[in-house]
Chains A and B, each alone.
Chain A
């Protein structure tokens, strides 16, 4: 139940939306991340600004060889669209891996990318949190996951982000009357600073034709509903570039550079993959992971879930 009172508005243009935005307001798209946060007393906005009536944010088009996905495109819509592109099968897997059919019917692509990092000590009700000291995210100065750490170590669980990052996606941001294009990586590094009250309008997947393969794997405790314990995405472009991204093991998805460069070398030489590459991948993943405890999964179990990196390599055609 949401006990906190707020105003709700549905502006019909980006200009109006941005004009309404202040420190005391939040944007809402599908609401599958925001509404639970309101129910759990994690957000206290005075104004909730729905983007549902803003035109132009809910279509998927191909423009100049790029796939342009509106931030308000529903996850189910993206899943259906990507079914028709064999080279986007991994993106299709990633979308289908999100939550459940009900959530995919209301959740949006932009909302999935901009979801808050999650933690078992943070995503709890106000009454529950009365029993512990406030943490970095609730106005205190402790991290219950890692009391020795000076900052929050919560993890980012988007299933779409690794796939989009592996595909070198850009994001379009509307702010102060201008639309600007940035790498998705830049946005994810500091979403609120980068957005600065602006609106994420589109995700641009460049040069779709050049994308030969896109693979995605996820491991979660359950086959539906759950956020990933680990996920991974791998792309191969016609030009020979390989990108390998691991998610849900760090506050932002990480690139496994060494593995991706060894993979690129193997593919260039058209050699079958050596068994060694799986060990390289496992070692690099382990080195870069910063697992914390999640429900039903200790950090050690999360480490195990990084087999998704090996699985996604095995998926290479």
Chain B
């Protein structure tokens, strides 16, 4: 491999334009004649709209159109950007007269300015009947609570996901030690910097959309179905994106935007406020978990019993698939495994996809118990986990997923090396919390599919067309590196065009840590196809047989000498009678979803007078396969640690039980860590190679967040000597500060 391309510290292709401000996000586009759209939202978590009158709104000069629930009454859909699945329930409305959460969409308005839109929302005359709201899983499961969607399910506990291996009851009964606990994690929001936005233009029988979108091809499929159009009539373009983290793995307000555009005949821009972002987009599921762990005195963990209740909010969206993914993320070789996941409707903000997709919740509960087991047995927590860890060739409990590569020992060795360095620097005593986790590369059900096409230019540079959506994680850069490596050309000779349903080929979507593994494999195939097609064309032009043309290191070999990639391109394009245009194409359907692994250590120290905990250091080492881009991987690890610390420490969407109001409605009230809050971070991606990966790479996107909250909570539990059962720590009576704040 060319070390100047693969594994190098290559800056992201789009970094400069992001920094100098010339990059264009959705809100930077303003097609001629554009209007603004806004959504009237329920101020109550559960209500019925008895009467709605838009006369005053329509009388406002500059208001161009209004749509009401009765205009869209027949349409039900599921907004999730997953490929079609029987698990996904069609329970959403474009607009509703029976709002099921605070923020549910009741009406929409298009006007000439954002200010007019805001004023218009205040002039709808709406009469509500306020109904009792189920604001927790417990309340939703109470027999006296009516089902939220009686036409879909008689109970709010509407889907059960199950995975089994061995016999967990017998397994637990045979164990020397059984530990159990009931754990809880909160709903959290990823808070992408760029608000959710779209511009929709319905012209004639076609729709053009610019949107913050992780899954343009799935969204196209849903919209085309919704409006009875062929998919070819719907074009979705994803401009630069300021984050997604899963929250944009679905439709948001494109349906409303499209209908407003249809009604006005003009493009309509929908740009959410931060308040709407917090209340009316999607969150990570709040979870209640009952976990049992059975082990022998020698440390062998032989049985694991996990039952989870997820608060999916008012609508299904991703709910059951999150549970399905969650049940398949155990990296310990237990003989007996039982997973039960309940998807529960409540009147809370709708939950959807968010980095980790169910994994952070259970990893927290499971790792807490494993740490307690280590203490009970007097074992080193790293070593106990290593003893039970899956090896290459094993399958993941409850699944058929193969462990095709695992470098966990190297991850531990590297983490230990860093820990010793940190300990040598710290004067005060502290406690380390350890957590392990695994994730997959691409969806764990192996539904990942991606494709790429490559067009060859005369000078040997190429146009690489990808369906994958770079949402800020850097996948376009990584894909360009893979193409350059396989084609043997310079990185600057690859131009990437991506995530435009009219001009790039299909991709399942940006989710499930897919892009490097699934998208990367498609690029490898496309590049190989390009080489093959170019070699054939070159043979024709030069009058030799295709078998006589070889290719290695960017150079074609022919019977009469060698020929660079660029020379070959020139000869083929302008080579006389036999000249032609050369394409490469690749379609990759996942055959495996190779697991990736992380070891995370977080250190806290406790003030003996005040009890205040200080978070001083966090280490994470990962096995993500062969690293394609060191910068991107480091960014993912550090970003994952920051987001994971927030999850463990301070983040939670809060609803006031008395008023039913969503309290954490802006970025002041909802707490994500600031730069001041991040302790010293140390990260490493260890040497690893996966045979199924493109150039040996696996994934990195979600993995790095998953173990962090667990490691933090374990460290806190060790520091305080008090068992912790719920996140975030700041909600409990544990005062915590970051080292930087204390240092001031």
A contact set with B: CB distance below 8 Å: 1, 3, 93, 96, 100, 120-121, 123-128, 130-132, 144, 147, 219, 221-226, 278, 293, 295-298, 300-301, 304-305, 307, 310-311, 314
Contacts and interface: CB of A to CB of B under 8 A. Distances in A.
A132 B661 contact: yes
Nearest to A300: B733
Contact of B41 (A127, A226, A307): A127
Given A120-B669, A222-B673, A224-B674, A307 B611 contact: yes
Nearest to B733: A304
A128 B735 CA distance: 30
Given A96-B744, A128-B661, A307 B612 contact: yes
A105 B118 CA distance: 30
A147 B665 CA distance: 22
A127 B738 contact: no
Contacts of A3: 115, 118-119
Contacts of B658: 144, 147
A121 B659 CA distance: 10
Contact of A120 (B121, B663, B677): B663
23 contacts: A3-B118, A121-B659, A127-B121, A127-B275, A128-B661, A219-B735, A221-B650, A222-B676, A222-B677, A223-B677, A293-B656, A295-B668, A295-B669, A295-B671, A296-B650, A296-B654, A296-B664, A296-B730, A296-B731, A304-B733, A304-B735, A305-B735, A314-B609
A221 B612 CA distance: 12
Main secondary structure of the interface of B (DSSP, over half): loop
Instruction: Report which residue of A278, A300, A307 has the largest number of chain B beta carbons within 10 angstroms of its beta carbon.
Output: A307
B671 A221 contact: yes
A132 B656 CA distance: 11
Contacts of B122: 126-127
Interface residues of B, number: 47
B195 to A, nearest CB: 13
B114 interface: yes
B737 interface: yes
Contacts of A147: 658
Contacts of B102: 131
B85 interface: no
Given A144-B659, A295-B669, A296-B652, A224 B676 contact: yes
A80 to B, nearest CB: 15
Contacts of A124: 665
Contacts of B663: 120, 295
A307 B610 contact: yes
Nearest to A124: B665
Given A222-B671, A296-B731, A297-B730, 6 more contacts: A93-B744, A128-B661, A132-B659, A222-B677, A295-B671, A310-B609
Contacts of A131: 42-44, 102, 659-661
B424 interface: no
B738 A221 contact: no
Nearest to B732: A301
A221 B730 contact: yes
Contact of B671 (A93, A120, A296, A300): A296
A113 to B, nearest CB: 20
B19 interface: no
B14 interface: no
Contact of A125 (B114, B275, B731, B744): B275
The 6 closest A-B pairs by CB, nearest first: A131-B43, A223-B676, A223-B741, A295-B669, A307-B610, A224-B674
Instruction: Report which residue of B42, B114, B731 has the largest number of chain A beta carbons within 10 angstroms of its beta carbon.
Output: B731
Main secondary structure of the interface of A (DSSP, over half): loop
Contacts of A304: 733, 735
B609 A278 contact: yes
B630 interface: no
B118 A1 contact: yes
Contacts of A300: 733
Contacts of A301: 730-731, 733
A213 B119 CA distance: 53
Contacts of A120: 656, 663, 669
Given A126-B122, A128-B275, A295 B664 contact: yes
Contacts of A226: 668, 671
B670 interface: yes
Contacts of B740: 223
Instruction: Report which residue of A124, A128, A224 has the largest number of chain B beta carbons within 10 angstroms of its beta carbon.
Output: A128
Contacts of A222: 650, 671, 673-674, 676-677
Contact of A1 (B114, B609, B668, B737): B114
A298 B663 CA distance: 12
A130 B659 contact: no
Interface in B234-276: 273, 275
Contact of B665 (A125, A130, A293): A125
B95 to A, nearest CB: 17
Interface in B564-622: 609-612
B552 interface: no
A296 B674 CA distance: 15
Interface in B663-695: 663-665, 668-671, 673-677
Given A127-B43, A130-B43, A301-B730, A225 B609 contact: no
Nearest to B115: A3
A278 B671 CA distance: 31
Contacts of B43: 127-128, 130-132
A226 B677 CA distance: 12
Contacts of A132: 43, 659, 661
Contacts of B735: 219, 304-305, 307
Interface string B146-182: 0000000000000000000000000000000000000
Contacts of B673: 222
Interface string B463-483: 000000000000000000000
A295 B668 CA distance: 9
Interface string B515-539: 0000000000000000000000000
Interface in B110-127: 114-115, 118-119, 121-122
Contacts of A1: 114-115, 118
Contacts of A293: 656
Nearest to B741: A223
A171 to B, nearest CB: 28
Contacts of B612: 219, 307, 311
A223 B738 contact: yes
A3 B740 CA distance: 40
A301 B661 CA distance: 20
B528 to A, nearest CB: 50
B123 to A, nearest CB: 12
Instruction: Report which residue of A3, A121, A221, A304 has the largest number of chain B beta carbons within 10 angstroms of its beta carbon.
Output: A221
B472 to A, nearest CB: 22
Interface in B688-744: 728, 730-731, 733, 735, 737-738, 740-741, 744
Contacts of A295: 654, 663-664, 668-671
Nearest to B670: A295
Contacts of B114: 1
B112 to A, nearest CB: 14
Contacts of A126: 122
A34 to B, nearest CB: 16
Contacts of B275: 125, 127-128
Contacts of A221: 650, 671, 730
B186 to A, nearest CB: 10
